[in-house]
Structure 1
Amino acid sequence: MSTATSPETSAAAQRALETRYGTPWSAPLPAWNETLDSLLAHRSVRNYADKPLPAGTLETLIAAAQSASTSSNLQTWSVVAIENPERKARLATLAANQSQIREAPLFLVWLADLNRLEAAAGRTGASAEGLHYLETLLVGVIDAALAAQNAVVALESLGMSAVYIGAIRNQPEQVAAELGLPPRVLPVFGLCVGYADESHPAQIKPRLPQPVVLHREQYDAPSQEDGIAQYDEVIGEFQTAQGQSAAGWTSRSLARWRSRESLHGRDRLRDALNALGFELR
């Protein structure tokens, strides 16, 4: 893979970084390559073309996912691939009626899977007490997230697009029933996969300035205020360009947590986890 930093490459890198943050970029540029181009060009795509995926796509994405890091090689995740239109429609209904689930040719539901290890313990007569603690579920959730992001990087490198669906947790028991999940398997999030509908192009959304999220040596809370104020302006301009109200980041983000109702059913996640067999000691 090329890491050349020709004038053309440097200019492209500068544009990519400035698009990602919505502000001028002044830090030195390291060697640049196609992987960085692809990562910085990521965007959530919610409109998909009526175009099938090439044969072998799913298997290739899962190979990429399984190449991600996993805690102690436990591999405490699984994924259910859904292509059946009727099942996608039912899952869309459970996930806040998001039309992109119906439109995408492939919908993946990523799972924190502790059942596999519990079954192995049962076969061998080993104790599996540690599976019932919050730490182990957290390992499964992290494993699933790492695997899914590897798959996203892979599919974007192949010219495809994706969007994560957190609303799969709105009604986790019903999702589990639809997918036939055994006990101690949690649907963590969904992922739509397909080719973007170029008639509805998605734009790169600016992120928080690095000084807000990057702390050197120790966490520096006071330094964040100016960066967040700047970001409210940047994201407000982006929202206006997208035909949305310029609510900024602070106001729109806080609205997501303003009440129990704004969690859209996820306020009862602890009860759902218990129903799915997680004791969470």
Structure 2
Amino acid sequence: MVCLAGIEPIIVTCFVCYLKAMYQREPMNPTIELLKSHRSIRKFKDQKIPHERLEELVRAGQCAATSNHVQAYSIIHVVNPENRRKISELAGGQAHVVEASDFLVFCADMKRSTEAAERAGADVVRGMTEQLVVASVDAALMAQNVAVAAESEGLGLCYVGGIRNDPAQVAEILKLPEHVYPVFGMSLGYPDQDPEVKPRLPLETILKEDYYDDSKDEEQVAGFDDTMHQYYLDRTGGNKDSNWSKELKPLFTTKLRPHMKEFLNKRGFGVK
């Protein structure tokens, strides 16, 4: 019991308001808090994820939304150490590909579904650009479900888009057939680091009402550049003098992965 005798009325009023605010406050949604706490983990403990748990993560992934129930994805669980070493090198020497408990490659897969439709009597049309979009989106949605499920179990992960540095060799290592291509990899394991959450663009920059209004984008991006500049300084002990806009420059001043168009065409994607 709190005794308020002898306390100034204004203090009592403030204290009562504080108690009301505490008890009326909406409880934190643990799922939203988990999503907002995501970090890329690149250092892992030497501890294996039980295979049954890994399978449960993939089952959770299968529950993601999928266009017309096509489920246009496949996952290659890369277990062979030599194959993981090769993929690590192709991805730019990312050590965690080898060191993580598990490494998954998420593939856009139109082979299984088109063949199923064919067996059902369809005169199948292959190679449509929309099929590329559907399969890529399906794979990404599925992977994000796996990621959230993994983090809910105390695991860490890092997406590896670097496998597209040489997707043809990755496809050869994984023996991927036509109409299947590797979209990205994912290193999974028990975290051995605790990095800060990287800031994101202000909500008002990406959430637009009724139409695309970019009248304040320049101002908002400038503010975000200041935020990211401080983030890089803090994360590196003052050794990285950069910001969001500067980090984007290499993406738009070079022809990034120009081999992808020819590779996808050879895979049977995006030619019509």
CA spacing shift, 1:8–1:168, aligned 2, 3 Å: farther
Q: 2:159 — aligned with what?
A: 164
Question: In the alignment, is the contact (CA less than 8 A) between 2:73 and 2:108 conserved in 1?
Answer: yes
Q: 2:42 aligns with which of 40, 43, 46?
A: 46
Q: 1:70 — aligned with what?
A: 66
**Farther-moved stretch of structure 1 (83-92 vs 270-279):** 270-279
**Farther-moved stretch of structure 1 (240-249 vs 169-178):** 240-249
CA spacing shift, 1:237–1:280, aligned 2, 3 Å: same
Question: In the alignment, is the contact (CA less than 8 A) between 2:132 and 2:270 conserved in 1?
Answer: no
Does structure 1 residue 218 correspond to structure 2 residue 214?
no
CA spacing shift, 1:8–1:169, aligned 2, 3 Å: farther
Aligned residues: 251
Q: 2:76 aligns with which of 49, 69, 80?
A: 80
Q: 1:267 aligns with which of 258, 262, 268?
A: 258
SS in 2 for 1:132: coil
Distance 1:156 1:79 in 2: 19
Question: In the alignment, is the contact (CA less than 8 A) between 1:206 and 1:235 conserved in 2?
Answer: yes
Q: 2:33 — aligned with what?
A: 37
Q: 1:104 aligns with which of 100, 103, 112?
A: 100
Deviation for aligned residue 1:34: 1.2
Q: 2:250 aligns with which of 255, 261, 279?
A: 255
CA spacing shift, 1:9–1:128, aligned 2, 3 Å: farther
SS in 2 for 1:44: coil
Deviation for aligned residue 1:125: 4.2
CA spacing shift, 1:279–1:142, aligned 2, 3 Å: closer
TM-score by length of 1: 0.85
List gaps (5 residues or longer) in structure 2.
Answer: 1-19
Q: 2:173 aligns with which of 168, 173, 178?
A: 178
List gaps (5 residues or longer) in structure 1.
Answer: 11-29
**Farther-moved stretch of structure 1 (63-72 vs 80-89):** 80-89
The aligned amino acid for 1:252 is: E
Deviation for aligned residue 1:8: 9.4
Deviation for aligned residue 1:84: 2.4
SS in 1 for 2:49: coil
Q: 2:11 — aligned with what?
A: none
Does structure 1 residue 207 correspond to structure 2 residue 203?
no
Identity percentage of aligned residues: 36
CA spacing shift, 1:9–1:157, aligned 2, 3 Å: farther
Deviation per CA, 1:61-115: give whole Å up to 9, x if none.
1111100000010111111111222111111111111111011111110011011
Question: In the alignment, is the contact (CA less than 8 A) between 1:173 and 1:276 conserved in 2?
Answer: no
Question: In the alignment, is the contact (CA less than 8 A) between 2:88 and 2:94 conserved in 1?
Answer: yes
Runs of at least 4 residues off by over 4 Å: none
Larger radius of gyration, structure 1 or 2?
Answer: 2
Distance 2:66 2:118 in 1: 23
Deviation per CA, 1:195-242: give whole Å up to 9, x if none.
1113xx222100011111110111111111111000000001010111
Question: In the alignment, is the contact (CA less than 8 A) between 1:76 and 1:139 conserved in 2?
Answer: yes
Question: In the alignment, is the contact (CA less than 8 A) between 2:107 and 2:182 conserved in 1?
Answer: yes
TM-score by length of 2: 0.87
Question: In the alignment, is the contact (CA less than 8 A) between 2:131 and 2:269 conserved in 1?
Answer: no
Q: 1:227 — aligned with what?
A: 220
Q: 1:277 — aligned with what?
A: 268
